[in-house]
Structure 1
Amino acid sequence: MSVIGGVMFHAVGASFAALCYTPQKKVTNWSWQTYWLAQAFFCWFLLPIVGAWLTIPELMKVLEEAPTDAMWKAFGLGMAYGVGGTAFGIAIRYIGFSLTYAISIGISCVVGTLLPPLVKGELAAVLQQEGAGWIVIGMVLGVIGIALCGLAGRYKELDLAKLEKGAESNFSVSKGLPLCILAGVLSALYGFSIDQGQPIADVAAEHGAGGFQSNVVYIFSNTGAFIVTLAYCLSLHRKQGTFKEFTLKAGSPLTKNYLLAIMTGFMWYSQFFFYGLGHVRMGDYKFTSWAVHMIMLVMFSTVAGLAMKEWIHAKGKTVWALVLALAVLLVAVLALTVGNAIGG
C-alpha cells in the first residue's frame, strides 16, 4: 500500500507538471523572458523557501546540522537543470514541441532514473532484487511510449503545417537535436540533485519532517536552477530593453500577467512537493521515482492536450499513434508499480 500511495502522489505531481505552463497562453504584452523570470521567481526561489519553512520542523537547526557538501551538490546539479530547461525552450524553436518533448523527456527518463544507483555502484545489485524484471519492462515501455507520443506529435505538426503555410520554415534537426540531447541529459540531473541532497532530507527526518523531508532539498536544487534562469533572462532583458514590462501599465494587463505567472510557479512547485511525498514511499526501488514522474507527465500532458482540443486537426495515423502511445505509457506505469510493490 505504501508503494501504491507513492505512485498516487507521483500522479498528482505529474498532473500539476502537465498543466503548469498552460497559463502562459493567456499572458499578453509580456516578452518570454519577463513571464519566465516572474514564474521562475515563485517556483524556483520563493515557494521552496516557504514550503520548507511550513513543513520542516526546526528548519534552521536542520540547515545548521546538514552536511555542506550535500548542499553544494544539490545546488550545482540544480544549476545544470536550469541550463537544460533553457536548452529545451530553444530546441522547440527548431524542431517543434512534440519532438523536443519526446527526445528530451525520453533521455531524462532513462538518465535520471539510472544515474543515482549507477554513481553509487548499486545498479547491478538493485537489478538482481525481486521485481527488477518489472522495473526494466516499465522503463523500456516508458521510453517506447514517450517516443510514440513524439511521433504522434510530429504527425500532428505535419497535419497543421498543411493548413498553415510556412509553419515548417524554421524546422532544423541539425540545430534542434543537439539542444534536445543537452536538455535531456541536464534535465535528468534534477532527479540526481534530489538524490544527492538526501543527507539534508535525512537530517530533516530526524527532526520530524516525515514525508515532507524532501522539501528542504528544494531550497538548494531550485535556487541553483533559478540563478541560471535569472542570469539568462536578465541578459535578454538588457539586450532587448524589456525591463519596463515588469511595471508598464499602459495597455498591459499587469495584474493578470502576474497572477498567471504565480499560477505557473505554484503548479510547477506543486509537482515536486507531491514528488517528494511519493518518493519516500517507493521502497527499495526509490530511484524509479523519476521514471514514474516522467512517464506520467507525458501521459497527462497528452491527455490535457486532448482536453484543450490541441489534436482537433489530427488525421488517422496521428490518432492511432496517440492511442497506442497512451496505452503503452499506462502499461509502463503499471509495470513500475508492480515492480516496486514486489521489491517492497
Structure 2
Amino acid sequence: MVVGFALLFAAGIFQGSFGLGYKNYKPFSWAAFWGIYCLLCMVTVIGVAWIQVPSLPEFIKYYKILPVFCGMLWGISAVGFSKAIDKIGMSMVYGISMGISTIVGSVMPMILNSALPVGSDAVKLYIGLILTVIGVIIITVAGVRRDGGAKGSALGYLLSILSGLGSGAMNIGFNGSEVLGYELMALDYSQLAISAVKWLPVLVGGCIMGMIWCICELFIRKEWYTVKLKGSAVRSAKLFIVSMIWYAALLLYGLSIIILGEKYSSVGWILFNALALIISTAWGLKTGEWRNHSKKLLFIGCAVLIAAWMFI
C-alpha cells in the first residue's frame, strides 16, 4: 500500500512538470515541435512495452476498441493542451485541464462499470463535482483578470477545457484494457510490464492522431524547413527527455493502480491530478507567469479544487 501511494506521488510530480518542455520549442514551428514530440513519445511507449514484453505482438488480439478510441480523443485534445500553454501559460492550463480531467477520468469509469456510489457516498461525489466546477471557474476568472482580454486568451481557455476532456478519457482507456492486464498477470509478467502494455493502445492511438494533425499543418503552413534549422537536433534531444518524463508519469500512475488494486483507479486519478496541479502551479509561479499580477484567485481556485477532490 505504501509503495503504491509513493509511486502515485512520484507520478503526480512528473505529471505536473513535463509541461515545462512545451514552453520553448524554438527553432521549430509549433507543428514541427509537436509532430516530433509525438513521434518520440510513441517510440518511447512502444520501446518500453516491447522491452518489458518481448512477445508483445501476440497480445494485440486482446486489445479492445475503447482504449484506442480514448487515445485518439486524447491525441486531438493534447494538441489543444500544447497550444493553450502558448496562449495562457502553464499554471492556467493545468488548473482548468486537470479539474475537468478529474471529473471525466474518475466518474466515467464508475458509470461504465456500473459502480456509481449510493447514499452518503453519492452525496459526497456530487459535492465534489460541484466544487470542482466552481474551482475551474475561479481559476478561469483569475486568468481572465491577469490577461485583461489579451488576444488569443479566450481560445486558450477553450483549448484547456477540451484538453481536460481528452485527458480524462485516458483513464477510461487505461481501465478498458483490464482484460489484457489479467492475461499478462496470469503469465507472471511484472506489474511494470502490465502498466506499460495497458497504456500502449491509448498512447499510441493519441500519438498517431497528433502526428497526423501536425503533418497536415506543416503542409498547409509550409513549415517543413524548420526541422532543419540550427539547433533542431539539440531541441529534439530535449524533447526526448520531456517525452520520458511524460511517459514516466503515466507508467508510474498505472503501476500504482495495479499495486493498489483496480478499486483505486478513480480515487488514484483524482490524487494524481491534484498533485500535478500543485506542482504545475508552483512551476508557473517560478517561471514568472504571474509576475506583477494578483495570485489570490489562483490560490483560492486551486484550494477549492483540492478540497473538492477530497469528496470525490
Query: For the superposition of Structure 1 and Structure 2, which TM-score range results when normalised by the shorter chain?
Result: 0.7 to 0.9
| Aligned positions, number | 310
- Counterparts in 2 of 1:5 and 1:137: CA distance versus 1, 3 Å: farther
Where does 1:148-297 land on structure 2 (aligned, <5 Å)? 148-158=138-148, 168-172=150-154, 179-212=159-192, 213-246=194-227, 248-249=228-229, 252-283=230-261, 284-297=263-276
2:39 counterpart residue number: 41
Deviations along 1:194-236, one digit per CA (max 9) or x if unpaired, are 0111111222222223431121022211110011111110001
Shift of 1:28: 2.1
SS at match of 1:123: coil
Shift of 1:94: 7.4
Structure 1 unaligned runs (5+)?
A: 159-166, 340-344
User: Is the counterpart of residue 52 in structure 1 residue 36 in structure 2?
Assistant: no
2:12 counterpart residue number: 14
Identity of aligned residues (%): 22
Letter in 2 for 1:324: I
Greater mean deviation of Cα atoms: 96-105 or 179-188: 96-105
Deviations along 1:53-98, one digit per CA (max 9) or x if unpaired, are 3334xx41x6525653x34332222111112222444566777766
- Counterparts in 2 of 1:301 and 1:168: CA distance versus 1, 3 Å: same
- Provide the rounded CA distance (Å) in 2 between the counterparts of 1:46 and 1:225: 13
- Provide the rounded CA distance (Å) in 1 between the counterparts of 2:159 and 2:296: 29
Letter in 2 for 1:263: I
- Provide the rounded CA distance (Å) in 2 between the counterparts of 1:22 and 1:183: 17
SS at match of 2:70: helix
Greater mean deviation of Cα atoms: 106-115 or 302-311: 302-311
Shift of 1:189: 1.1
Where does 1:137-152 land on structure 2 (aligned, <5 Å)? 144-152=134-142
User: How does the TM-score come out when normalised to structure 1?
Assistant: 0.77
- Provide the rounded CA distance (Å) in 2 between the counterparts of 1:86 and 1:24: 11
Letter in 1 for 2:217: L
1:86 counterpart residue number: 79
| Contact 2:147–2:153 (Cα < 8 Å) also in 1 | no
2:292 to 295, 313, 319: 313
User: Is the counterpart of residue 72 in structure 1 residue 65 in structure 2?
Assistant: yes
- Provide the rounded CA distance (Å) in 2 between the counterparts of 1:148 and 1:293: 21
User: Is the counterpart of residue 323 in structure 1 residue 299 in structure 2?
Assistant: yes
User: How does the TM-score come out when normalised to structure 2?
Assistant: 0.84
